[in-house]
Amino acid sequence: MSDRGRRTPALLAAALAALAMVLAACTGPTAESETVSGGGGGGGGGEFDPTAPLDFAVITHGSEGDAFWSVVKNGAEEAGHELGVQVTYVSNGDPGAQAKLVDNAVAQGKTGLVVSMANPDALKSSIEAAVRAGIPVITINSGATRSKEFGAIAHVGQDEAIAGQAAGERLKEAGKKKILCVIHEAGNSGLNERCDGAREGFGGDSDDAVENLQVDISNPTDIEARIRGALQTDPSIDGVLTLSSQVADRAVTAAQGAGSDADIATFDLNTDVVDAIRDGRILFAVDQQQYQQGYLPIMMLKLYRQNGNTLGGGQSVLTGPGFVDESNADLVRPYTERGTR
């Protein structure tokens, strides 16, 4: 793991400790609060109501049962439990349906919103309406470049371009010559940023050296077939970069089926990925530590509501990239088992 990756846990631990000290001085409504006052937030919109209960909604573009988003949910719910905040988690992968979830949260009088923005344009009107209603919004995971424009008070997540660049650099250091970058969600701007970053980090004649492949994450059989077909068609591909832990295992099987010696690397973790890293089937995983994308925004919203605090200074609060490889896979595995990595 790089020096940056090794420093990440210590820096984050220090940040969390500092935040915890501030929270210890705060008093306010608990999760047992039953009355809800609409439009009680802030964020440069409507009237700020300091007496409104802390009743936050986390609205993501994840699908039901998705291993990645279950970790985000765990982080948000644990923060709510520890901080005495009511937290409701809902998700929908359809951008229009996700926008309606934001509208519903505003109508229900939620006093803080956490929203992932895989498709920022589809959510723009709904988020701006929440801000006008005086509800503070923190965006997470994707859409960082549009967050401030929409009126959010902060963004928490990984800079996808920086993460992609770091992945490309590591693949180059591993001696790879041509990379297949597998995009599993059409229209997800963050995934394209990852591949673009990998192309930049890989360097050289990277337009030809990094090739994108579009697949559908809802069709695992087709994912495997498409990756296998790409490797069979172009034997010069010696590395595959998947952008989801759910796609990574399919890439491993596809490479075996194609008779390819291509190394597999991936974004994001689950226990299967960590096990594959331990036994050499996956080279490394880019870890954006998504538990923090659930946990930190709840803490930040509480601080904002009760003490007027913001974090990031107008820049994203970065949760990655970190890297998991054979050097630290044994350390990380227990955390993936309990659903926090």
Flag whether pLDDT at 22 surpasses 70: no
Average pLDDT in the 246-271 region?
96
Cα angle at 250 between 70 and 328, to 5 degrees? 60
Flag whether pLDDT at 52 surpasses 80: yes
Average pLDDT in the 121-135 region?
97
Flag whether pLDDT at 109 surpasses 60: yes
What's the confidence (pLDDT) of residue 20?
A: 47
pLDDT band at 48 (very low <50, low <70, confident <90, very high): low
Contact present, 58 and 80 (Cβ < 8 Å): no
Range of lowest pLDDT (21-30, 265-274, 303-312): 21-30
DSSP 328: T
Percent of the chain with pLDDT over 70: 84
Nearest CA to 226 out of 288, 273, 180, 276 is that of 180
Q: What is the pLDDT of residues 137-182, one digit of tens each?
A: 999 999 999 999 999 999 999 999 999 999 999 999 999 999 999 9
Flag whether pLDDT at 233 surpasses 70: yes
Both ends of the chain: CA-CA distance in Å?
Answer: 16
Domain ranges of the chain: 11-158+289-320, 160-287
Q: What is the pLDDT of residues 193-213, one digit of tens each?
A: 999 999 999 985 656 899 999
What's the confidence (pLDDT) of residue 32?
A: 34
Q: What is the DSSP string of 161-227?
A: HHHHHHHHHHHHHTT---EEEEE-STT-HHHHHHHHHHHHHH-SSHHHHEEEEE--TT-HHHHHHHH
Q: What is the pLDDT of residues 298-307, one digit of tens each?
A: 999 999 999 9
What's the confidence (pLDDT) of residue 26?
A: 41
The secondary structure of 99-160, three-state, reads HHHHHHHHHCCCCEEEEECCCHHHHHHHHHHHHHCCCCEEEECCCHHHHHHHCCCEEEEECH
Contact present, 135 and 112 (Cβ < 8 Å): yes
CA distance linking residue 170 with residue 145, whole number of Å? 25
pLDDT band at 18 (very low <50, low <70, confident <90, very high): very low
Flag whether pLDDT at 35 surpasses 60: no
What's the confidence (pLDDT) of residue 2?
A: 42
Average pLDDT in the 265-287 region?
97
- Total Cβ atoms within 10 A of residue 281: 19
What's the confidence (pLDDT) of residue 208?
A: 81
pTM: 0.80
Within a 13 Å sphere around the CA of 114, how many CA atoms are in the beta-carbon half? Answer: 34
Topology classification of domain 160-287: Rossmann fold (3.40.50)
Looking at 3.40.50.2300, 3.40.630.30, 3.40.640.10, 3.50.50.60, the CATH number of the domain 11-158+289-320 comes to 3.40.50.2300
Contact present, 180 and 237 (Cβ < 8 Å): yes
User: Sign of dihedral through CA atoms 335, 336, 338, 341?
Assistant: positive
Domains 11-158+289-320 and 160-287 share a fold: yes
CA distance linking residue 277 with residue 96, whole number of Å? 37
| Residue 240 parent element (H or E) | strand 239-242
Average per-residue pLDDT for the chain: 88
